[in-house]
Amino acid sequence: MKLTLQNVNYFKDSSFQFGNYSLDISEAGPFFSKLDSGIVSKFNNCFIFPAFCDVHVHLREPGFSYKETIKTGTLASARGGYADVCSMPNLKPVPDSLENITVQQDIIDKDAVIRVHPYASITKNQEGKELCDFESLKDNCFAFSDDGKGIQSPELMEKAMIKAKQLDKIIVAHCEDNSLLKGGYIHDGEYAKLNNHKGICSESEWGPIKRDIALAKKTGCKYHVCHISCKESVELIRQAKKDGVDITCETAPHYLVFNDMDLKDEGRFKMNPPIRSEEDRLALIEGICDGTIDMIATDHAPHSEEEKTRGLKNSFMGVVGIETAFSVMYTYLVKTKIITLEKLIELMSINPRKRFGLPLNDDICVFDLNTEYNVDPKEFLSMGKFTPFEGHKLYGVNKMTVCDGKIVYESVF
């Protein structure tokens, strides 16, 4: 059916226009299936965006479905306005072979309500010792990453970059130097992680970035840095871009809003890398404004209640954010006039797809930007309920998400 939304602001050619917006719908939601005509006026003055793309999510399936499933994670993503999410490889089995990545893809094909693009791991079983068979995985993965673990060996990282360059794939790096971590490790059922949250120093992040920039320059590999959190990382990447290195990076909403003075002794504030100083936060903001930081990703990382209620020190690493990312960034960056709404759409929709070669399609989300709401994790569709934004008053409520012509999320009342 042809659906026409009247009197809306829609994004076209990098700017917003006001008027009627029409799209083809192959599968209507409960509200729209009851329409006598295809004309809707309930969205007056709402904003239509190209649906968002998150290159860094943890959907936890296969292997950890007690934390999240493909179904719940993609439903949550649709509620957040996303049509594309890219699933990190810290799973069981690790997607380090065609056989293993097919296990994940079968679940995606069966249960996902939006598009899910699976990562393959860089090393076998994410152990950082031996490369996966990149050739057998290249046609079935989004990119290569050992997210959750840093590649400690520069020789191995160089080999990975050479192989990725040959296959025209991107290396996506979780940058963390284990030799600089303090406080010891615990095992959380997925991979070894630092017990002492405050022991994750900035150099453990920017040191590997500095190393990898040199390797990316040497090999010509496409290189992307996950969740940067400190001022040194911003400056290294800024200079690398000036030097012609094929490098991009992301940061997450929590690093742009909080500093370490906001931390509470609660698991919902524990993630890796940690929230850092106000100086670091401001450097990230500057990186967003000048284009050093290319995109905003959530690092949506659900855990169970038992795993996240051990205080800041002993809770597992990772917070959820896919359902609140846009409204957080709209409230704290756009309404405060730090960036424009057009810039935010570039960061959340345009740039991620451009970098990773994903088509924009005709997917949309429809947001009411004038409505304020309180973040209540009990309302989340994700199985993960632990967010540092709990209780925050945010602007921007998603009314509808359309993916591949299907209404995958609908909340029009």
Measured CA to CA, the distance from residue 87 to residue 72 in angstroms comes to 13
Identify the H or E element spanning 66. Answer: none
Tokens in use for 387? 């967010």
299 is catalytic: yes
| SS3 of the chain: helix, strand, coil, percent, to 5 | 35, 25, 40
Measured CA to CA, the distance from residue 195 to residue 401 in angstroms comes to 39
Measured CA to CA, the distance from residue 407 to residue 388 in angstroms comes to 29
Identify the H or E element spanning 29. Answer: none
Nearest to 360, CA basis, from 95, 119, 172, 84: 84
User: Which residues, including other chains, have CB under 8 Å from residue 155's CB and lie 6 or more apart?
Assistant: none
Tokens in use for 383? 């199985």
Tokens in use for 294? 């290319």
Identify the H or E element spanning 410. Answer: strand 406-410
Catalytic residue among 96, 212, 294, 299: 299
Which amino acid, one-letter code, is at 162? I
Nearest to 272, CA basis, from 86, 158, 147, 409: 147
Per DSSP, which regions of 220-317 are E strands? 222-225, 247-251, 295-296
Helices (H), 24-97: 70-80
The distance of Cα 240 from the centroid of its chain, to the nearest Å, equals: 23
Measured CA to CA, the distance from residue 333 to residue 331 in angstroms comes to 6
Which amino acid, one-letter code, is at 370? N
- Separation of first and last alpha carbons in the chain: 21
Among all residues, which ones are annotated catalytic?
299
